[in-house]
Amino acid sequence: MAAPLPPGSTIGVLGGGQLGRMLSQAASRLGFNVVILDPEENSPAGRVSQGQVVAAYDDATALTVLGKVAQVVTFEFENVPASSIERLAEAGALVAPGPRALAVAQDRVEEKTFLNSVGATTVDFAPVDSLDDLLAGLEQLGTPALLKTRRDGYDGKGQVWIRSAEMAADAWSAIGEKPAILEARAAFIRELSVICARGRDGAVAVYPLGENIHSGGVLKTTLAPAKVDAATETRAREIATAILNGLDYVGVLGVELFDLGNGKLLVNEIAPRVHNTGHWTQDGCVCDQFEQHIRAIAGWPLGPTEAHARVEMTNLLGDEVEQWRTLAAEADVRLHLYGKAEARPGRKMAHVNRVRVL
């Protein structure tokens, strides 16, 4: 991209869920047109966009069409087939973030190997391709240890804790005997996350840290800016910058961190996209993570990341969304509904930001 995309350009988004919806809304505020590609007809993102291509993410014709109408294509989830990215490139579209970031994020062994190579330390780990590998890994790392599939899996899915070697066979069976990674347990105080961005010119912007609280493997609440000391804040910024530059990244990236105390942080995982733990920025910052992502991929200057309010972000799962009447009446609450038709148990239906003056 030789110059910033002007307003009126078209941005393509792979994925029609809530993240795609909020990306589309941010892009529209900046004057861009948005076209969604998603297999679900009338998707949440499609309903707030200029148009939607209803097709599978690996549909060759649909990708060719999207690549021709969009000047840049991004995605709301990281499990996009590599062949889809190649097809878009052949059609002449830029894709951001690029294929390197996707390849790293799609394989947990590759991810941890890369992170350690740029000085973003993780827990100790071992690749697992068989029950014998798993037993050897348990001997190396000890118990308890966490077994995860190398690919896919989210919100606690595709993983199981192993508390003794006798559990190995059952754990291996529980994840479907798929290629996996075994991770040592981290003795952390709390989980933090940092949302960061890198522009096409290499500029880096980092938001204040958030503190995350999970329930049943699913993020429930993020408190931001997190109450951290200067050493922790500095280390998080160093980690974010190293990852962004190491991937030659363009766009917003989420980095999940284990806080061990005294400024020591381990990286849990990265997400090459806008992130649930960054939703607080919608009401806590002048430029939220969604606008920041659009700015980055379009070649615009990155926006400010300073917090002007303290925010408690809470996900509404399943039928919790029925609380919308009560929540809408609370003066300090900003309600963000995703437009999903069916409130299945555990499904992310909305989030609320409770705003406090700093």
Sheet of 180-184, strand order: 125-128, 180-184, 145-149, 159-162
Kindly state the helix (H) or strand (E) to which residue 72 belongs, with its residue range. strand 72-75
- Nearest 10 degrees: Cα torsion 277, 264, 78, 102: 150
Q: What is the pLDDT of residue 133?
A: 96
| Contact criterion met (CB below 8 Å) for 144 and 168 | no
Q: What is the pLDDT of residue 195?
A: 98
Share of the chain above pLDDT 90, in %: 89
Q: What is the pLDDT of residue 90?
A: 82
233 pLDDT band, cuts 50/70/90, is: very high
93 pLDDT band, cuts 50/70/90, is: confident
Q: Which architecture characterizes domain 124-184 according to CATH?
A: 2-Layer Sandwich (3.30)
Domain 10-95 is found in CATH 3.30.1330.90: no
357 pLDDT band, cuts 50/70/90, is: confident
| Contact criterion met (CB below 8 Å) for 74 and 66 | no
Structure letter (DSSP) for residue 285 = B
Domain 190-357 fold is D-amino Acid Aminotransferase; Chain A, domain 1 (3.30.470)
Instruction: Please tell me whether residue 218 adopts helix, strand or coil conformation.
Output: strand
List pLDDT tens digits, range 78-88. 888 888 988 88
Task: Map out the domains of the chain as residue ranges.
Answer: 10-95, 124-184, 190-357
List pLDDT tens digits, range 272-303. 999 999 999 999 999 999 999 999 999 999 99
Whether 10-95 shares its CATH topology with 190-357 is answered no
- Nearest 10 degrees: Cα torsion 82, 86, 87, 92: 140
List pLDDT tens digits, range 2-36. 689 999 999 999 999 999 999 999 999 999 999 99
List pLDDT tens digits, range 127-170. 999 999 999 999 999 999 999 999 876 656 789 999 999 999 99
Contacts for 66 with CB less than 8 Å, ≥ 6 apart: 12, 35, 37, 53, 73, 88, 91, 93
Contacts for 213 with CB less than 8 Å, ≥ 6 apart: 219, 220, 221, 222, 223
Q: What is the pLDDT of residue 154?
A: 63
The arithmetic mean of pLDDT across residues 122-128, rounded, is: 97
Q: What is the pLDDT of residue 200?
A: 96
Contacts for 116 with CB less than 8 Å, ≥ 6 apart: 122
List pLDDT tens digits, range 175-211. 999 999 999 999 999 999 999 999 999 999 999 999 9
Q: What is the pLDDT of residue 156?
A: 62
The arithmetic mean of pLDDT across residues 316-329, rounded, is: 97
- Mean pLDDT over all residues of the chain? 95
Q: Is the pLDDT of residue 171 over 80?
A: yes
**Biggest CA-to-CA distance, the chain:** 61
